Structure 1
Amino acid sequence: MMNFSTVDSLIPIGSGQFQALDYVVFISMLAISMAVGIYFGFFGNNNSTEEYLLGGRRMKTIPIAISLIASQISGVTILSIPAELYGYGTQYAIMIPFMIVTVSIINFVFVPVFYHNNIYNCYEYLEMRFSRRTRHLITIIFLAYSYVFLPIILFIPSIALAQVTGMNVHLINTIACSVCVIYTMLGGIKAVVWTDVIQGTIMVGASLVILICGILKVGNISEVVNRAFQGNRIEFFNMNLDLTVRATFPNMVLGGIFSWTSYIGLNQSCVQRIVSLKTVKHARTSLWIFCFGYYIIVGINCFIGLTMFARYYQCDPLQLGIVDKLDKMVPYFVQDTVGELSGMTGIFISCVFSAGLSTMSASFNSLSGVIYQDYLGKLPGMSKSEKMASFWMKSIVVVSGVICVLCGFVVDKFSSLLEIMLTISTVTNGATLGVYCLGMLNPWANDNGAFWGTIASVFFTGYLAVRSKIAVLAGEITYPLLPSRIDGCDAFGLNVTTGFITDSLNATTACPMNEEFALHKIAFIWFAVIGFIIVLVVGIPVSMLTGSNDIYRTGKKLISPVAHWLLPEDIRMKIPPRNTEVPLIDKDGNPIKDSTWVWETTQKTDK
């Protein structure tokens, strides 16, 4: 493998080091985020839990939509999506158009239930529908996922900044986490949303600049597409039904829908912002806008991947050893295309950090509410006053930040951070989606079915994920990159005699036919689907065997409107549908505050 310093002297890329303007750009991004938090901390009226967590349910539709977009696009996403298309082609991108299916499911299945029951904490629904133990089970899954996921979210951008500045990666991680903690702790959800708007704008702007400069380096869009076709990077409709194939039309579409529906519609960090809007109509509108924005930002990053391939169509840095991992292709491409432009390296790093900060701040805010409401607030002798609630939730944000910094030292020891994130998410998403669908779409499901179905799902998909990872490390499962060329490196000042790699396998190659099928060889994208199915396969029979749920006791509001046809007619007619354009209010015209998010001291009583 060639040494970086030797190759960098031959290929005309930027210096790869932060210049004065780069520092100014990056520090400005952090300073603006901090300023927003300080502003809302002192002038945002965050004295109540409802204001701190929900913005008083007066948040605006478009900012919430942008916040959802920004927090769904992490720094890992910015780096991994273009790399995925560079190495494996466009089959991944087929899941993008189906985001509209995900948003439709959330809008018409889940959102009405949360609003009609005035639920601010999505895990509260599980206690209302099933029991406290089922609620705590899913809450623990959420907490475990969050505290493994979050340290990775900001550590990856920290690595990128360390590479171009020479600073210690842990120092960078500590500074960035501290900024995120301060503005989230002081400003609450208002600071989270408005910093997301700023950071989302940075992400889109930086990605567009990188894409345009990359296209100009290649020539034009037509040339990008032609080279992608010639390099076999364009593939959308691989209908192979083999479950062991890494990326096909069926597994990308189904796996994408199941995973995204769970993450966006049933993850508290997202639900908390969705229900901070006044009405169901506002929430639905915000999600439709989110869908449109998601198409834009992910579409841009997908095309960056194709442009990256077109740029190195005849001189693959991976083959040459210039870049040792696929995950590092995007930073290399950025240095190559815009590194010579003053300040552009700083803008790219700001883009990656913005993506990480937006995800982390939203998670910190939701974690503070969930941990306080579900655990700290229920401790004997714990004061239920708004002042103490605010103190403890802000303390949880600080502690969460400290955990992320300390876990960074552990994360630094792992070689494939993206695989860790994907493994954890696939284990939790299927079980979470399954238990909510069991509750909202099956009126007869009971607590035993929900609890044991979730347990079975987590353990089985957890086994698949761990066993699959072991097989990958042992070389039992491999996903070779698509073929690439190095016969045109003269244009980059390199004299390479090797031409085209002909023995690379297609990325969608399945296990050899003479090998025995094994469950752990199933592609990881299927794990969420499998987890969902297990919840239903176990949950429905267990519910029937242990005594089906009393439909009359459950009532209509805890069942999704799309499943009301399953209810007896007298229950269907009992509660008239509520106008989705009108917010829930009490007799004094104030928003109803019967959720456990808002404590007794804030509720009005008649004298």
Structure 2
Amino acid sequence: MSETLVWIDYVIITCTLLISSGIGLYYRFSGGRQKTTEEFFVANRDMGVTTIAIGLMVSLLSAVSLLGVSSEIYMHGTHYVVIVLGYALATPVIAYFYLPVFFNLGDTSAFQGILMIASVVIVIVTAVLDVGGINKIWDIAVEGKRIDFNSTSFDPTVRHTWWNLIIGGFFIYLSLYGVNQIQVQRVLTIRNLKRAKAAVWLSLPITVILVCGISFSGLALYSKYRNCDPRTAGAIASNDQLMPHYIMENLSKYPGIPGLFIAGIFSAGLSTVSAVQNSAAAIILEDYVKPVFQARQKTFTEDQSAYTSKFLAFLMGLVCLAVALLAQQLGNLLQAALTIFGVVGGPLLGVYTLGMFIESADEISAILGLIASFSLSLWIGFGEPKPEIPKLPVDVSGCNVTMTDSTNNRGSATDDDIFYLYRISYMWYCALGFVCCLLIGLLTSLIINLLSERINNERKTLNPDLFTPLIAARIRKRQEMRRY
């Protein structure tokens, strides 16, 4: 049996890339969309609810999730799935407190999402047929101690517990959907707030279903390799290669299936990268390029904006390629991604929350809070040394090797010698960054307000549109009372 790609696989991969590229080229040369910055960045606010809901899910659950979550379940058990409860708790907060603010200021994802789902289904279906049913996969996982939802520890250094997964998942989801440029820009492609809220709500069950599906694919992989762990046997260099290894080893006899899987991986990556390109281009254009022209009192036409936006998106694509070359140095794919989300997302969520919820907050307090929390998050998130990630035991009795993989090569004494903050679970990084930014910002604004009477004058000119609905309503009521 050949374990390499054949011509039909290359055809499928090529067609996937051509379809994704072709959609953009069609709108570029057909005389239709993308002639203005509004069309290019927010699709003229003319996208459908379902399309954007799928797009939100695809941007969140990229190739990192497709490869990382499955290997997480394979090596560490099912406890990670509890994170979806945090997602559920964050959804109404996003829809009713954060999203309205951005709306007042104010595609290919469905295709890529389908390919992602197809990749997961392929792994699960073939594993079910191989072992003899879904119940058999579950029984094997129970026997191998992969089914685990028992950790209720309050110790912040425990990697996964109910508390850090729910609370940490809440803040990660809130930062990604509530204030992240990529997701907010996607939601703003819908014409009105009511439909945008519907898209946010609809993306939740889609996300939950796919997270559970990817997680079960991890159990399916374990059912296949329970007696011959590929990494211990030397077949792969990283656990994140488990799913591609499974596809090539077991499905190469079906021409086209490996190509479909790789197309799914590419599609998952394309959706995230394209969203990053678009959002980064929008930020650079609005916050750096246009202000330069305004400072020089020069006109920056709509046509110039549109062409500059596309050029900036191209440059961001090159940056993404460079970062991809460095990604192999990050280690555990899922934990590395969520660490970055937490380190960056926590302070960002904190500074937006400060501005949207606190009337007395000003630029100085916001900047100081952001700098302090970002510094703390970077220190905790990337400080060394880190304790080794504990792993469940694996077996190689079915392989032609005699070595075994230990559950945890570090003793508890060694872990205790590591600085405490470096041992905190990565699931707490986003919440810690958020709380630090909010506290520093509040304290700083309180001190500034005590030393200055400027706040009393500024409160008279606050723009309600910049605040979350409850605070905005209070400001409008106060402003109306002053008129009489």
Using the size of structure 2 for normalisation, the TM-score is 0.90
SS of alignment partner, residue 480 of structure 1: coil
How far does residue 574 in structure 1 lie from its aligned partner after superposition? 8.9
Name the residue aligned to 1:262. Answer: 175
User: What is the aligned partner in structure 1 of residue 88 from structure 2?
Assistant: 100
Q: Is the contact between residue 252 and residue 258 of structure 2 (CA under 8 Å) also seen in structure 1?
A: yes
- Give, as a single letter, the amino acid of the residue that structure 1 aligns with 2:84: I
The yes-or-no answer on 1:29 pairing with 2:29 is no
1:522 Cα deviation after fit: 1.1
Q: Match for 2:226 among 313, 316, 331? A: 313
Give CA deviations for 1:161-190 in whole Å, capped at 9, x if unaligned: xxxxxxxxxxxxxxxxxxxxxxxxxxxxxx
* Aligned 8 A contact 1:481 1:506 in 2: no
The change in CA–CA distance for 1:61 and 1:574 in structure 2 (over 3 A counts) is: farther
The answer to whether the Cα contact below 8 Å between 1:98 and 1:257 also exists between their aligned partners in 2 is yes
Distance in 2 separating the partners of 1:425 and 1:351: 23
Deviation of residue 405 (structure 1)?
A: 3.4
Is the contact between residue 556 and residue 572 of structure 1 (CA under 8 Å) also seen in structure 2? no
Partner of 1:271: 184
2:407 counterpart (504, 507, 516): 504
Structure 1: distance between partners of 2:378 and 2:360: 28
Deviations 1:263-318 (A, max 9, x none): 12211111112112111110011111111111122211100001111222233223
Displacement of 1:96 in angstroms is 1.6
Per the TM alignment, residue 341 of structure 1 is displaced from its structure 2 partner at its CA by: 1.3
Pick from 33, 43, 46 the counterpart of residue 45 of structure 1.
33
**1:397 matches 2:313:** yes
Q: 2:478 aligns with which of 554, 570, 583?
A: 570
Give distance in 2, aligned partners of 1:52 and 1:574.
42
Question: Pairwise mapping of residues 49-68 of structure 1 onto structure 2 (< 5 A)?
Answer: 49-68=37-56
The 8 Å contact of residues 66 and 197 in structure 1, kept in 2 or not, is answered as: yes
The alignment's TM-score, normalised by the length of structure 1, stands at 0.73
C-alpha separation in 2, matches of 1:268 and 1:259:
14
CA distance in 2, matches of 1:208, 1:87: 20
Matched, 1:110 2:18: no
* Greater relative contact order (CA < 8 Å, ≥ 6 in sequence): 1
- Cα 1:572–1:82 shift into 2, 3 Å: farther
Distance between the aligned counterparts of 1:414 and 1:505, measured in 2?
Answer: 20
CA 1:450 to 1:390, structure 2 compared with 1: closer, same or farther past 3 Å? same
Picking from 75, 78, 89, the partner of 2:63 is 75
Question: Which structure features the higher share of helix residues?
Answer: 2
Pair 1:570–1:383, CA change in 2 (3 A): closer
CA distance in 1, matches of 2:198, 2:459: 32
Residues 564, 572 of structure 1: 8 Å contact kept = no
Aligned counterparts of 2:400 and 2:45: Cα–Cα separation in 1: 63
Shift of 1:383: 3.2
The residue aligned with 1:445 is 361
Q: Which whole-Å CA distance do the structure 1 matches of 2:169 and 2:92 have between them?
A: 14
Q: 2 CA distance for matches of 1:298 and 1:208?
A: 12
**Cα RMSD for the two superposed structures:** 2.6
What displacement does 1:408 show?
4.7
| 2:217 equivalent among 286, 304, 307 | 304
* TM-aligned CA distance change 1:440 to 1:375, over 3 Å: same
1:57-112, Cα deviation, whole Å (9 max, x unpaired): 12211111111122222212111100000000111110023322222111011111
Contact 1:53 1:369 in 2 (8 A): yes
Shift of 1:558: 2.4
Alignment of 1:387-466 (within 5 A): 387-411=303-327, 420-466=336-382
SS state of the match for residue 38, structure 2? helix
The one-letter amino acid of 2:388's match is T
Counterpart Cα distance in 1 of 2:168 and 2:230: 31
Gaps of 5+ in 2: none
* Letter of the 2:62 counterpart: S
When residues 545 and 24 of structure 1 are mapped into structure 2, their CA distance, relative to the original with a 3 A threshold, is: same
1:205 aligns with 2:118: yes
Superposed displacement of residue 37, structure 1: 0.9
- Which string of whole-angstrom CA distances, capped at 9 and with x for unpartnered residues, describes residues 198-238 of structure 1? 11111112211221111211211111111111111111241
Offset, 1:515:
4.3
Cα 1:36/1:518, change in 2 over 3 Å? same
**Does 1:368 find its partner at 2:356?**
no
1:233 maps to 146
Contact 1:218–1:307 (Cα < 8 Å) also in 2: no
Q: 1:554 corresponds to which residue?
A: 462
Find the aligned partners of 2:324 and 2:417 in 1 and give their Cα distance.
Answer: 39
Q: 1:414 and 1:45, CA in 2 relative to 1: closer, same or farther beyond 3 A?
A: closer
Alignment-mate amino acid for residue 40 of structure 1: Y
2:390 aligned with 1:480? yes
Q: Partners of 1:271 and 1:248 in 2: how far apart?
A: 30
Matching residue of 2:422: 520
* Higher alpha-carbon deviation: 45-54 or 259-268: 45-54
Contact 2:86 2:173 in 1 (8 A): no
Show structure 1 runs of 5+ residues with no match: 1-13, 120-193, 576-607
